[in-house]
């Protein structure tokens, strides 16, 4: 957004049809994210413009223009059709941040499939739960992750095709098929499936307090919100070089690592490598990155490495910085001003919201520690937790709530209407977070309103961890809670009561940690296990995670009598 256009200007007369018009979408006509992010951009004469500048940990590089992305996503779509995958079927992408992931995402959408991106570090149990729930038909993966798929294949009768993107000749096993994106004959013309605004597009799995992770179901119309927030909040302009550090296994990596930037025809770069401050700064310097979207955990890591590392690089290309996923503490904002000469702008949203909903607009006064104000078109408030009515006075802490109906909001949890319905009160959608609003309408994040653990910006559900812990032969019962961490904000801590005959020593602690890492993921792995004789429970026998969590954070436990009556 140019500095002369203010937040107030944007609010006046706001209507989502601004984005519909710019995306050339008319009610009743087909709308397909795959087509809009590639063919449409080529039609605008940007076919030769770089869409993706990719690099991996070994320094290998690849470049794709928008016309490459258009043709290669056609190629993926045609391949899926040849396999017999039908519109509406779920196609999982289970890959590192390789070009196949970004291009495959558009390809699945072009043939009318529903994309199910899953984080490639997921272990076999995490994968099984999500593929089983979605009744997934096909999965794209790499050789190094195929092993995990092979182990669970027998439990997945619906999974007809395992597509290996880097297959070795003659090494395919049952249901596996090779697909080499760059060697396939390119498909120049593909009849894109005529999806409509409400046709399901993306299924992202997210965790809650109870039950297994749920599939948050987005529709093609979500592009309207993702497009406009990318333009106004991330401030993306035609000549930008944009870098979103998120993995498309999570919603930030798809809403703002694929759909948002490409719907605007923006060049983006991807670094498929782990964190290192040297490498990150060198990447920004090399590609002349102008807009950078990252997360507080990454900023805290950069802070830890100090401003000197930043100063050794030419970071003068940077124009705008934004952050998401966890509270952006005031120190991080102040430090980024010192290190980069500009603040990180906080953005608050969720898998369920699909796009940024509360934010510090470019040009708007940044109050370090505050998330900013609602995006135009988003009605947001905080509700009194007893009445579910908006808190009457400024500064009162309540539940963050949004008036449903913005374009990118999920339409359902996959096959789980009950949990979806439980998210609404008095006509408001509840985010599951607490905050206060100040006199000027700025939101101040306080914390989650449930037992979900936010580790480095990734939500981890305690129930999934506890279920996996129960599969260990020594575990009788357990509780997984958050424990404070200086870099990741929170990490998982497990309280474990053992079955008779087992001793809670260091060896067993390590064994259980590894057990969870392999089954679920490194994120879900407890960083500490405390062996206990028993766990605090309500009268009806529910484990009181809140009591354990409060102890970890040195916080008051709160009213135990209500907990006891649960
Ligand atoms: O608790 C909030 C936290 O992350 C949750 C959403 O997580 P997820 O659905 O995985 O999506 C993450 C990326 C959009 C929220 O309910 N969260 C997200 N952004 C912020 C945040 N907490 C504080 N400040 C933020 N800016």
Which residue segments constitute the domains of the chain, with CATH numbers given? Answer: 7-437 (3.40.50.12780), 450-553 (3.30.300.30)
Burial class (CB in 10 A: 0-12, 13-18, 19+), 118: buried
CA pair distance 519, 160, nearest whole angstrom: 23
CA pair distance 271, 253, nearest whole angstrom: 12
Residue where the block lists tokens 């009213």? 559
Pocket probe mutation, ligand 1, options 457, 482, 490, 523, max atoms within 8 Å of Cβ: 457
Q: How far is the CA of 333 from the centre of ligand 1 (A)?
A: 17
DSSP 8-state assignment for residue 42: I
Residue nearest to atom 7 of ligand 1 (CA): 350
Which atom in ligand 1 lies closest to the alpha carbon of residue 431?
16
CA pair distance 305, 234, nearest whole angstrom: 26
Give pLDDT, residue 561: 64
Pocket probe mutation, ligand 1, options 350, 409, 488, max atoms within 8 Å of Cβ: 350
Q: How far is the CA of 192 from the centre of ligand 1 (A)?
A: 33
Query: Do 504 and 531 form a contact (C-beta atoms < 8 A)?
Result: yes
Q: How far is the CA of 326 from the centre of ligand 1 (A)?
A: 5
CA pair distance 523, 455, nearest whole angstrom: 7
Burial class (CB in 10 A: 0-12, 13-18, 19+), 388: middle
Q: Is 451 close to ligand 1, i.e. is its CB under 6 Å away?
A: no
- Which contiguous run of DSSP H or E holds residue 67? helix 66-83
Q: How far is the CA of 347 from the centre of ligand 1 (A)?
A: 9
Q: CA angle, 526 as apex, 523 and 530 as ends, to 5°?
A: 170
Query: Do 363 and 7 form a contact (C-beta atoms < 8 A)?
Result: yes
Q: How far is the CA of 209 from the centre of ligand 1 (A)?
A: 15
CA pair distance 566, 559, nearest whole angstrom: 12
Q: Is 199 close to ligand 1, i.e. is its CB under 6 Å away?
A: no
Q: How many CB atoms lie within 10 A of CB 348?
A: 27
Q: How far is the CA of 485 from the centre of ligand 1 (A)?
A: 17
Q: How far is the CA of 278 from the centre of ligand 1 (A)?
A: 27
Give pLDDT, residue 564: 57
Give pLDDT, residue 539: 83
CA pair distance 246, 223, nearest whole angstrom: 18
Residue nearest to atom 6 of ligand 1 (CA): 350
**Strand partners of residue 205:** 215
Which atom in ligand 1 lies closest to the alpha carbon of residue 400?
16
Q: Is 327 close to ligand 1, i.e. is its CB under 6 Å away?
A: yes
Give pLDDT, residue 208: 81
Which atom in ligand 1 lies closest to the alpha carbon of residue 432?
16
Q: Is 432 close to ligand 1, i.e. is its CB under 6 Å away?
A: yes
Q: CA angle, 113 as apex, 109 and 116 as ends, to 5°?
A: 85
DSSP 8-state assignment for residue 456: T
Q: How many CB atoms lie within 10 A of CB 313?
A: 16
Distance of alpha carbon 252 from the chain centroid = 4
Which atom in ligand 1 lies closest to the alpha carbon of residue 358?
26
Burial class (CB in 10 A: 0-12, 13-18, 19+), 168: exposed
CA pair distance 460, 187, nearest whole angstrom: 40
Q: How many CB atoms lie within 10 A of CB 277?
A: 17
CA pair distance 408, 226, nearest whole angstrom: 7
Q: Is 489 close to ligand 1, i.e. is its CB under 6 Å away?
A: no
Q: Is 445 close to ligand 1, i.e. is its CB under 6 Å away?
A: yes
Q: Is 454 close to ligand 1, i.e. is its CB under 6 Å away?
A: yes
Digitized pLDDT (tens) for each residue of the chain, 566 residues in all: 445 789 999 999 899 999 999 999 999 999 999 999 999 999 999 999 999 999 999 999 999 999 999 999 999 999 999 999 999 999 999 999 999 999 999 999 999 999 999 999 999 999 999 999 999 999 999 999 999 999 999 999 999 999 999 999 889 999 999 999 999 999 999 999 999 999 999 999 999 878 899 999 999 999 999 999 999 999 999 999 999 999 999 999 999 999 999 999 999 999 999 999 999 999 999 999 999 999 999 999 999 999 999 999 999 999 999 999 999 999 999 999 999 999 999 999 999 999 999 999 998 999 999 999 999 999 999 999 999 999 989 999 999 999 999 999 999 999 999 999 999 999 999 999 999 999 999 999 999 999 999 999 999 999 999 999 999 999 999 999 999 999 999 999 999 999 999 999 999 999 999 999 999 999 999 999 999 999 998 888 888 999 999 999 998 887 666 555 45
Q: Is 433 close to ligand 1, i.e. is its CB under 6 Å away?
A: yes
Q: CA angle, 398 as apex, 392 and 399 as ends, to 5°?
A: 125
% helix, strand, coil for the chain, step of 5: 30, 25, 45
Pocket probe mutation, ligand 1, options 454, 488, 521, max atoms within 8 Å of Cβ: 454
Predicted TM-score (pTM) of this structure = 0.96
CA pair distance 23, 32, nearest whole angstrom: 11
Pairing verdict, β 291-294 and 267-272: unpaired
Give pLDDT, residue 566: 52
The closest alpha carbon to 444, from 349, 506, 369, belongs to 369
Q: Is 230 close to ligand 1, i.e. is its CB under 6 Å away?
A: no
Q: How many CB atoms lie within 10 A of CB 173?
A: 11
Which atom in ligand 1 lies closest to the alpha carbon of residue 452?
1
Backbone φ and ψ of 126, nearest 5° = -60, -40
**Strand partners of residue 401:** 381, 430
Q: Is 369 close to ligand 1, i.e. is its CB under 6 Å away?
A: no
Give pLDDT, residue 1: 46
Q: Is 348 close to ligand 1, i.e. is its CB under 6 Å away?
A: yes
Backbone φ and ψ of 466, nearest 5° = -65, -40
Q: Is 295 close to ligand 1, i.e. is its CB under 6 Å away?
A: no
Pocket probe mutation, ligand 1, options 357, 400, 410, 433, max atoms within 8 Å of Cβ: 433
Pairing verdict, β 412-413 and 214-219: antiparallel
Q: How far is the CA of 182 from the centre of ligand 1 (A)?
A: 36
DSSP, collapsed to helix, strand or coil, labels residue 532 as strand
Q: Is 251 close to ligand 1, i.e. is its CB under 6 Å away?
A: yes
Q: Is 68 close to ligand 1, i.e. is its CB under 6 Å away?
A: no
Query: Do 20 and 224 form a contact (C-beta atoms < 8 A)?
Result: yes
- Which contiguous run of DSSP H or E holds residue 219? strand 214-219
Query: Do 163 and 444 form a contact (C-beta atoms < 8 A)?
Result: no
């Amino acid at each position: 957004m140019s500095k002369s256009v203010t937040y107030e200007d944007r609010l006046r007369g706001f209507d989502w049809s601004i984005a519909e018009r710019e995306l050339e979408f008319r009610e009743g006509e087909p709308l397909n994210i795959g087509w809009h992010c590639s063919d449409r951009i080529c039609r605008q004469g940007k076919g030769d413009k770089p869409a993706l500048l990719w690099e991996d940990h070994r320094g290998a590089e690849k470049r794709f223009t928008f016309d490459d992305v258009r043709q290669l996503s056609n190629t993926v779509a045609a391949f899926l059709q040849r396999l017999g995958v039908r519109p509406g079927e779920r196609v999982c992408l289970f890959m590192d941040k390789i070009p196949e992931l970004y291009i495959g995402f558009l390809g699945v959408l072009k043939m009318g499939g529903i994309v199910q991106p899953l984080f490639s570090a997921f272990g076999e149990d995490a994968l099984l739960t999500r593929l089983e729930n979605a009744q997934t038909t096909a999965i794209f993966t790499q050789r190094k992750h195929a092993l995990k798929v092979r182990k669970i294949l027998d439990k997945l009768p619906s999974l007809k095709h395992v597509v290996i993107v880097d297959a070795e000749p003659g090494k395919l096993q049952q249901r596996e098929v090779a697909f080499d994106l760059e060697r396939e004959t390119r498909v120049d013309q593909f009849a894109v499936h005529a999806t409509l605004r409400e046709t399901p597009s993306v299924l992202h799995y997210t965790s809650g307090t109870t039950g297994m992770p749920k599939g948050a179901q987005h529709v093609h119309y979500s592009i309207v919100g993702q497009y406009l927030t990318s333009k106004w909040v991330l401030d993306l302009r035609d000549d930008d070089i944009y870098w979103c550090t998120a993995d498309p296994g999570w919603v930030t990596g798809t809403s703002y690592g694929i759909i948002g930037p490409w719907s605007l025809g923006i060049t983006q770069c991807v670094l498929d490598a782990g964190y290192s401050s040297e490498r990150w700064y060198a990447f920004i310097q090399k590609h002349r990155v102008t807009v950078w979207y990252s997360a507080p955990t990454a900023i805290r890591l950069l802070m830890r490495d100090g401003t000197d590392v930043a100063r050794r690089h030419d970071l003068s290309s940077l124009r705008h910085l934004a952050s998401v996923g966890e509270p952006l503490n005031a120190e991080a904002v102040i430090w980024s001003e010192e290190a980069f000469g500009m603040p990180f702008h906080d953005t608050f949203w969720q898998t369920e919201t699909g796009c940024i909903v509360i934010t510090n607009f470019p040009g708007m006064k940044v109050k370090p520690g505050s998330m900013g104000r609602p995006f135009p078109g988003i009605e947001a408030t905080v509700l009194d937790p007893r009445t579910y009515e908006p808190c009457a006075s400024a500064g009162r802490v309540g539940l963050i709530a949004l008036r449903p109906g913005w374009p990118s909001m999920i339409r359902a949890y996959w096959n789980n209407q009950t949990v979806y319905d439980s998210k609404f009160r008095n006509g408001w959608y509840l985010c599951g977070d607490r905050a206060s609003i100040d006199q000027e309408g700025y939101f101040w994040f306080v914390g989650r309103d449930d037992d979900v653990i936010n580790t480095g910006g990734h939500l981890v559900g305690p129930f999934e961890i506890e279920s996996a812990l129960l599969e260990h032969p020594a575990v009788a019962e357990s509780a997984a809670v958050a424990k404070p961490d200086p870099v990741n904000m929170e990490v998982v801590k497990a309280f474990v009561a053992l079955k008779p005959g087992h001793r809670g020593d260091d060896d067993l602690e390590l064994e259980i940690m590894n057990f969870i890492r392999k089954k679920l993921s490194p994120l879900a792995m407890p960083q500490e296990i405390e062996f206990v004789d028993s766990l605090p429970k309500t009268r009806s026998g529910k484990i009181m995670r809140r009591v354990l969590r409060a102890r970890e954070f040195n916080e008051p436990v709160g009213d135990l009598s209500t907990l006891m009556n649960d």
